[in-house]
Structures are given as structure tokens and as C-alpha cells.
A and B are shown apart, each in its own frame.
Chain A
Amino acid sequence: MVTARQAAETVTDPELPVLTLAELGVLRDVRESDGVVVVSITPTYTGCPAIEAMRDDLRARLREEGYPRVEVRTVLDPPWTTDWISAAGREKLRAAGIAPPGAAPRPGTIDLGPIRRAVRCPRCDSADTVELSPFGSTACKALHRCRHCLEPFERVKEI
């Protein structure tokens, strides 16, 4: 029988299905006490609607593995950061055509100049890319285009 932690670690993110919640850094803790599995997850963004789907997916997977009593808790502190995405997770993002995030920004003063980021195309590895929109299909992604292979691609935003 797989442990509750092993089962929870196989659940994937609803919006980035190439990554598990563990690789994304969203799965914070799994523990069992008195026959109840308590899973702690943290939202990527405060308003991220995927958190409800994560909750359901975790409950369903644990039930399949023989853990009928599951409590999913949401923890906010410490707040999620893209720095928690594992090395394996970053490689999977790249393989799926999504540029992984760089280092998370440090809180600082306002920057009014054009923002230049060295983002490499996940398909052809060219550094000649341009940001089309800082906000993409989900809260956590921006939209880019490669000027070398001409393909558009998404990037997980540093936060």
C-alpha cells in the first residue's frame, strides 16, 4: 500500500498538468492522525480558482488509494514563491513548451523603465524572445514570442 504522502505527491496541477503539486511547491504537508489524512496546500495566487480543483483531486486520489477520510487545509504563510518549483518541475515545464521562471523578485522600489528579462525559448533555446503580454491565460503565466523560431510560448512568472 502506498503511503498517503506518496499518493498525494502524484496529484497534478489542474492548470499546469505536466507538474505535480509537489513539484510546483504547492503541496506543503501530508500527515496522518487517527485515520484522517491532513493535507496542507498553499495557493499560488490569492484568487487562484484552481485551489478548489486541487482539493477535489487530492481527496479523489487518496480515496482511490484507500484513505477515505481526508482533510485538505489551505495555508497562506509562508506565501508561495516560484522558487519552490523543483528542478525536475522546471525541466518538465520546458519540455512542455513553457518557459520556467527565473529567480523570484525581491521587494523593492518601483521600476519605470522597460523591463528586460532574459527569457529563452523553450522550443529552440534562442534568447531572442519578446514579451507579448505580462498577463496570460492564467494568473501565473505571461505570453512571449520567439523571434528565431517564431513560435509563441508561455512563461511561468516569477513571484
Chain B
Amino acid sequence: MTSLTSESVESADLAAYCLMLGDDALIMSHRLQEWCARAPEIEEEVALANIALDLLGQARLLLTRAGEAEGAGRDEDRLAFFREAAEFRNVRFTETTGDFAVTMTGLLVFATWRLAVFGGLTRSRDAGLAAVAKKAVKELAYHRDHAAQWVVRLGDGTDVSHRRAQLAWDSALGDAAELLHAHPVELRMAAAGIGVDPATARPELEQVLAQVAAAATLRHRPLPEPPRGGTGRYGEHSAAMPALLGELQSVARAHPEATW
């Protein structure tokens, strides 16, 4: 039996942790990119593409760091394009797709949660993670504000937009409980002063969502208790994930030797 030193346990955990945070950004970015040429107005298309680009930038840094910590020679492209669905560690929440209200509500919840988690990460003992977080929090803050402005406009808009915004809100709130579940890797990283326990994001998430719901005239309820496991963090994804990856990975897999 091989015994692992505490250092190698820590670097395996660091690789797994960076993969989680990187996969969240990659899959969320992909879902936002799907609005290209489909958004309700051209300014919004540019906005969603820009937000998707910020998240893709975060994904690149985090997947690169995951590959380095893993030490098996996998770079960002290898990790993004040549893993199967069950090897991804993003929260299922990022896989959600639907109408414009679903996207904006999802972006609001995601950006608010990630901003709270990354706020803590700016104080990480790992200088690389802290640097990524310090850069990312500025971007996440305006992602959150942009989505919040839209949710208010939709919720406090016409009867039709209000009804669809309420449906999106109820659905997103139910799904958001997953974001507060802490995987054992996240707990160990938090205990080591490197990561953040996502459950600690609850007060900030609750406070911002209640504030936006009130301004948007949406019926609001507190977030349900998080599931005990079986989330995207364990590689258990929604039925939509294989099709999503099929599109995300198709070019790289069709031309595996291509460079760009």
C-alpha cells in the first residue's frame, strides 16, 4: 500500500478544487454563449458575450492551475475538451437552460453565489488562487448587477414578463440549494485556508436575492436546505450535459491536432 504525504494529498485536493471552480465558469460561459445571434436585442447579445468571455477567462486560469496541480501533463484544452460528462465537477445549476428570464435569473443567482465564494478566496493561502479571485470579483460584481437589473425589469414589467420571471425565479431558487452543498474536497480546502466552504455564501445570497425579489415584485421564499450529496460536484449531471458537451467539444475532438 502506498502512503501519501500530506503535501501530495493537498495538491490532489487543490487540483480537484480548481477543477470544480473552473468547470463552473466553463459551463456557465457556454450556456451564455448560446445566446449569440438569439438574444432579444443586439446590445444584450454583446453583454452576454462579454460576460461569457470573462467567465471563459476565469475557466482558462483555473483549469490551467488544476492541470499544474494534478501534474499529469493535462493543460486547459485537454481538460475542457477531452473529458466525459461524469468527469466534470461543475454544479448542475450551470447546465440549466430556458428562456431569457431563466438565463437572467440563473446568472443573478450564479454571480451572487460566486462573488460571495470568491470574496473569501481573495484571502486564500494559495497565492495563485487568491490572484485569480481578486481579478474575478470585479467582473462578477458587474455580472451580478447586470442580471439584477434585468430581473427587476422583467419581474416589474408586463403581465407576461412577470409571469415568466416568477416561473424562472421559483425554479432557480429550488435548484440553488445545490450551490450551498459542500463537497469533502471543498471542506478540506476551506480547513486548510485555501478554499471556501460554499455554505458560508448563504447569508449574502439570501440577502441579495430577497432585495432583488422585492424590487422585482416577485414572490420570494428562503433557499431550501442543500442536498446531502449527488450533486454536479460528484460528477452527477443533468440529462442535458452530454448534449452540451457534444457542442462544446465538437471542434476540438474533430481536429485533435489543430492549434489556434
Q: Which residues of A contact B (CB under 8 A)?
A: 43, 45-49, 75-80, 105, 107, 110-112, 132-137, 139, 143, 159
Contact = CB atoms under 8 A, between A and B. Distances in A.
Contacts of B247: none
A110 B211 contact: yes
Contacts of B56: 47
Contacts of B146: 134
A135 B46 contact: yes
B7 interface: no
B76 to A, nearest CB: 12
Q: How large is the interface on B (under 10, 10 to 19, 20 to 34, 35 or more residues)?
A: 35 or more
Contacts of B137: 107
A111 B56 CA distance: 26
Interface stretch (B127-135, B159-167, B230-238): B127-135
Interface stretch (B47-55, B66-74, B99-107, B189-197): B47-55
Given A46-B58, A110-B145, A112-B148, A139 B50 contact: yes
9 closest pairs, A vs B, by CB?
A47-B57, A46-B57, A77-B131, A133-B43, A76-B131, A47-B53, A135-B47, A79-B135, A135-B50
B73 to A, nearest CB: 21
28 contacts: A43-B135, A45-B54, A46-B61, A47-B56, A47-B60, A75-B131, A76-B131, A77-B130, A77-B134, A77-B135, A79-B134, A79-B135, A107-B138, A107-B141, A110-B148, A111-B145, A112-B152, A112-B211, A112-B212, A112-B215, A134-B47, A135-B47, A135-B51, A139-B50, A139-B53, A139-B54, A159-B138, A159-B139
A133 B47 contact: yes
A47 B47 CA distance: 14
User: Interface centre among A46, A78, A112, by most B CB within 10 Å?
Assistant: A46
Interface in B126-178: 127, 130-132, 134-139, 141-142, 144-146, 148-149, 152
Contacts of B152: 112
